[in-house]
């Protein structure tokens, strides 16, 4: 009888760890933002202008100026804009991509907790299934 309670307590603890690690992964996920100038047009081409150069903040203007001087290069940073930027009657289409930073230590701890909880739960379920006479 005491073994049943102990298994239940371990299962309950592993379930709590599982849900806590899911919350931990969501809370600690970090993205890298990269942007690149993909196209320069003389007209908006059916797309709405999302940004005007004069309305960008200083960091966004600096990054946008660097994109114009090196149109084939990808730039990384929080100042990336995504969409069409109008400046001097020209329309610049900027594409942005976001990738997950897998080397974030806090997220790795949460992922390890998730894998551990899944392992504990599956081991307990397997042990319980073996002890049943089917």
* Mean pLDDT value of segment 100-119: 92
Residues whose CB falls within 8 Å of the CB of residue 37, separated by 6 or more in sequence, listed in order: 67, 68, 71, 92, 93, 94
Residue 2 pLDDT grade (very low, low, confident, very high; cuts 50, 70, 90): low
Q: Mean pLDDT in the chain? A: 87
Token look-up 């005491």 returns 2
Q: What is the pTM of this model?
A: 0.63
Packing angle, helices 105-131 and 2-28, rounded to 10: 150
Where residue 47 falls among pLDDT bands split at 50, 70, 90?
low
């Amino acid at each position: 009888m005491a073994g049943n309670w102990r298994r239940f307590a371990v299962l309950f603890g592993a379930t709590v760890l599982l849900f806590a690690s899911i919350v931990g992964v969501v809370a600690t996920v970090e993205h890298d933002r990269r942007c690149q100038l993909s196209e320069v047009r003389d007209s908006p081409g059916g797309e709405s202008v999302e940004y005007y150069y004069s309305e960008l903040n200083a960091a966004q203007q600096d990054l946008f100026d660097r994109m114009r001087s090196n149109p084939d290069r990808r730039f990384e940073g929080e100042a990336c804009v995504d969409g069409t930027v109008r400046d001097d009657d020209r329309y610049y289409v900027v594409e942005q991509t976001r990738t997950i930073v897998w080397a974030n230590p806090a997220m790795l701890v949460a992922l390890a907790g998730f894998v551990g909880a899944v392992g504990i739960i599956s081991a307990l379920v397997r042990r319980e299934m073996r002890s049943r006479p089917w």
